[in-house]
């Protein structure tokens, strides 16, 4: 009987040790669970997510007030809202490693998610889901805060601001966004909005919407527009006509009627400013010139699909979600594609011209036919005194000569097709050379520079723009023997001995002597080499 007792005691001892170990493990688990429950908020990934969300929304609100206006890059003045630079936006968000997609602007994140394949969507969700909170819902919040970030009393209101740039040499421009009210006869644009939404009190800006602001005498004839805002909606004129597309306000006064200025002062700047809207934009015109608008109607209809509003005679208050006051202008007869909206360049502008005027030739074809030389003649000043001699010499080189005087240029669609049919175009410095825009790519422009140290100005107007249009440029600067001025002034006169002294007398003296009094008798033997050089590019 003793043996079983001893055996029973030996059997139960291990069981007691196992029970003690199990109890210790359970106790440790209970203690760990207790600390996990108490400290869980500190380690909850969703708490970290919420922290990142708050930081990101704040950054986006501070940096996306003017995301659309990438074209205003230098010294931008915006009294109502302090503008944050785009590079600050990027560098700030670079610290939020969990959210790489937030470095893109204007809701591009949601577009990327919506545009992905099912496999991509599943992959994206698996990577960006933390503690059951998906990035998709976070992106929606960011997008709303970018596009409409003014919140008053729980109500989300459209963003509103006035952004003006008076630092550019060629033109002053303002972009007004929000509840924009245009009073035509009063020449006033009002931004209606609650004062509590803005960081500075009501302010006023003045703009003359014509892209030649250094020409003070002509700018004084351009109607001045007044921008005001923010003004409480109840204190602003009521909307009579509502539009759901942006407005672009510009002048058809100034030098318009001169072919060069038609393009460099208005049509090219209008293309830069409006093309981004693909026709969904309304033009409002001050210093209204109906004849000018009719002349360029084919081009204007390609830039806006709506009738043009004569701002000077408009009695009703027109309301828009956005308005551009003044036109963006970069340089003479050209576009700086590095700062233009969507990177537009003269290539796109010339493609638009070909479409508008049904121009069949995109580029010059080498060696396929007898080269066509267009000679642009002037009347009055800077005319060719030996026209027949020049024509015979050109024909002797193998050119088929096409002549164009002022009469031929009156019918613009027809003349554009004539220019487009030619391979080389030549003429004395003047507005007629602006027809170079209708030449096909790889054609050649030859500019004849009158006597008087005018090379720089001539290159500035036509020589520099030529490469941007895909054209070759040749220049021929005449000698004093080729100028009619030798019959008016002795050879020791400053006109010949010191032309720059005439420049120093001012524009009127320079224009009167070197541009208005001078005609040209080309040295055909010397000029022959220029035409031969142009031929080389065609063979």
Q: Where are the domains of the chain?
A: 46-157, 161-354, 357-536
More confident residue, 149 or 29: 29
Looking at residue 490, its pLDDT comes to 97
DSSP 472: E
CATH 1.10.10 fits 357-536, yes or no: no
Q: Assign 193 a pLDDT band (cuts: 50, 70, 90).
A: confident
Burial (Cβ within 10 Å: 0-12, 13-18, ≥19) of residue 440: buried
Contact (Cβ atoms closer than 8 angstroms) between residue 176 and residue 214: no
Angle (deg, nearest 10), helices 2-43 and 45-63: 10
Looking at residue 234, its pLDDT comes to 87
Among residues 504, 401, 397, 378, the alpha carbon closest in space to that of 450 is found at 378
Checking if the pLDDT of 145 tops 70, the result is no
Q: Assign 229 a pLDDT band (cuts: 50, 70, 90).
A: confident
Looking at residue 14, its pLDDT comes to 53
Among residues 194, 222, 198, 228, the alpha carbon closest in space to that of 208 is found at 222
pLDDT tens per residue across span 444-464:
999 999 999 999 999 999 999
- SS3 label, residue 238: coil
pTM of the model: 0.71
pLDDT tens per residue across span 2-39:
444 444 444 455 555 656 666 667 766 776 665 555 45
């Amino acid at each position: 009987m003793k043996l079983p007792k001893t055996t029973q005691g030996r059997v139960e001892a291990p069981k007691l040790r196992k029970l003690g170990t199990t109890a210790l493990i359970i106790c440790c688990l209970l203690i760990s669970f207790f600390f996990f429950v108490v400290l869980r908020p500190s380690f909850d990934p969703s708490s970290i997510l919420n922290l990142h969300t708050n930081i990101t929304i704040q950054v986006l609100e501070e940096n996306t007030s003017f995301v659309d206006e990438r074209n205003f890059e230098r010294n931008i003045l915006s009294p109502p809202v302090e503008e944050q630079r785009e590079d600050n936006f990027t560098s700030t968000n670079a610290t939020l490693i969990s959210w790489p997609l937030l470095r893109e602007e204007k809701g591009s994140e949601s577009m990327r998610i919506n545009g992905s394949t099912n496999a991509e969507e599943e992959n994206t969700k698996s990577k960006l889901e933390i503690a059951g909170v998906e990035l998709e819902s976070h992106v929606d919040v960011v997008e709303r805060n970018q596009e409409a970030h003014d919140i008053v009393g729980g109500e989300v209101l459209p963003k509103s601001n006035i952004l003006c740039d008076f630092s550019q040499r060629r033109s002053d421009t303002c972009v007004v966004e929000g509840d924009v009210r245009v009073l035509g006869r009063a020449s006033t644009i009002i931004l209606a909005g609650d004062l509590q939404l803005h960081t500075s009190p009501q302010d006023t800006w003045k703009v003359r919407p014509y892209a030649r602001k250094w020409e003070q005498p002509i700018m004084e004839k351009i109607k001045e527009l007044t921008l005001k805002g923010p003004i409480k909606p109840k204190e602003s004129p009521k909307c009579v006509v509502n539009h759901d597309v942006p407005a672009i306000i510009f002048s058809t006064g100034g030098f318009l009627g001169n072919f060069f200025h038609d393009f460099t002062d208005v049509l090219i700047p209008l293309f830069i400013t409006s093309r981004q809207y693909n026709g969904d934009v309304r033009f409002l015109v001050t210093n209204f010139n109906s004849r000018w608008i009719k002349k360029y109607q084919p081009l204007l209809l390609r830039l806006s699909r709506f009738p043009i509003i004569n701002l000077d005679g408009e009695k009703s208050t027109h309301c828009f979600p956005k308005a551009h006051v003044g036109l963006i202008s970069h340089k003479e007869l050209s576009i700086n594609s590095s700062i233009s909206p969507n990177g537009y360049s003269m290539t796109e502008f010339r493609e638009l011209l070909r479409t508008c005027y049904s121009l069949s030739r995109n580029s010059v074809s080498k060696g396929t036919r007898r080269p066509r030389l267009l000679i642009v003649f002037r009347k009055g000043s800077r005319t060719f005194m030996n026209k027949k001699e020049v024509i015979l010499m050109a024909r002797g080189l193998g050119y088929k000569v096409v002549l164009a005087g002022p009469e031929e240029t009156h019918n613009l669609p027809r003349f554009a097709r004539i220019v487009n049919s030619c391979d080389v175009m030549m003429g004395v410095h003047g507005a007629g050379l602006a027809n170079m825009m209708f030449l096909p790519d790889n054609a050649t422009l030859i500019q004849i520079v009158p006597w008087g140290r005018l090379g720089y100005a001539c290159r500035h107007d036509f020589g520099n723009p030529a490469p941007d249009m895909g054209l070759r440029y040749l220049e021929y600067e005449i000698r004093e023997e080729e100028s009619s001025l030798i019959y008016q002034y002795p050879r020791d006169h400053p006109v010949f001995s010191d032309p720059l002294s005439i420049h120093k007398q001012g524009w009127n003296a320079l224009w009167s002597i070197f541009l208005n009094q001078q005609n040209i008798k080309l040295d055909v033997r010397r000029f022959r080499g220029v035409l031969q050089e142009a031929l080389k590019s065609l063979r």
